[in-house]
Amino acid sequence: MALRLSVKIGKLILKNPVMVASGTFGYGDEYRDFMNLKELGAIVTKTITLNPRKGNPAPRTCETPAGLLNSIGLENPGIDNFISQKIPFLCGLGIPIIVSIASEDDPAEFMALARRLDTIKEVMAIELNISCPNIRRRNSADGFSVIDRGGCGLISQDIEATYNLVKAVRRETGKTIITKLSPNVTSISEIALAAEAGGSDAVSLVNTFIGMSIDVEKRRPRVAAVTAGLSGPAIRPLAIRAVWEVYRNITIPIIGMGGIMDTSSAMEFIIAGASAVSVGTANFINPAVTREIIHGIRRYLMKNKINDIKRITGSLKI
């Protein structure tokens, strides 16, 4: 039986539905000794900003029960260094490259980054990381604003800001736009609808949950930034619920993520409504986990006599 694992995300055609999540796979070259990168459906790069960033002070990570707290702070080389130093390797892989972008304080930086990337044909899609912290309220030339939430405002926590930002970026690029959503909201479906209305070709969900951990002997936070993003299998049930909820409310594809550790957990997201999945924290534990999941999905389809992965998406029986 011929198996079809390819999926369509906007203009992207992925040969299989498994990609790697931003911030957990570097820029690809860090993992080339552990697996054949050409097997991946796509690579999502570590988030890029206009200028280089050193990130947050250490300690920036700590393990928690079935999870990982991290507050890296968008450490990255900046767009100029990314284009000159990272793009050549990525372009040689022959698989879709999705570049994750964020602003440091002015949301207009998203448009500047999108314009730069729009000229690079090898970049197939842009992921809007609208979970970037410390975004103050300001009005841009494009007429959108972001709510200041005590220095921790996220664009993706505001319906209007999400819509206006996606719409503004849409005017700057013809590439596929994937909007990465935060789970730290009252209704993630409303935010997803705003992204869709603004012109996003897909949404990826979920980003990390805000959490913290305390060293009880020192009575100090285990992460210098005090709060941090929680990822790993601890958040998977919450992430799957979010995918299922959003799937019933939007028409664009969903890329599911949050605690995917193996084939079974990847299939949970697809059955809940994800067209593709993105593997994050598991890469730190098993650098070849994505390859194992790709082969595991093939075995699942063969076992269940299903010839097309698209028949599984949203197939949850209630």
Q: Which residue has the tokens 């410390």?
A: 134
Q: What is the 3-state secondary structure (H, E, C) of 15-65?
A: CCCEEECCCCCCCCHHHCCCCCHHHCCEEECCCECCCCECCCCCCCEEEEC
Residues 103 and 74 sit within 8 Å (Cβ to Cβ): no
Catalytic residue among 62, 91, 132, 152: 132
In 120-166 the beta strands, taken as DSSP E runs, fall at 123-129
Q: What is the spatial distance between Cα 152 and Cα 147, in angstroms, rounded to a whole number?
A: 9
Residue 97 parent element (H or E): strand 97-101
Environment class of residue 199 by beta-carbon count within 10 Å: exposed (0-12), middle (13-18) or buried (19+)?
A: middle
Environment class of residue 141 by beta-carbon count within 10 Å: exposed (0-12), middle (13-18) or buried (19+)?
A: exposed
Active site (annotated) includes residue 132: yes
Active site residues: 132
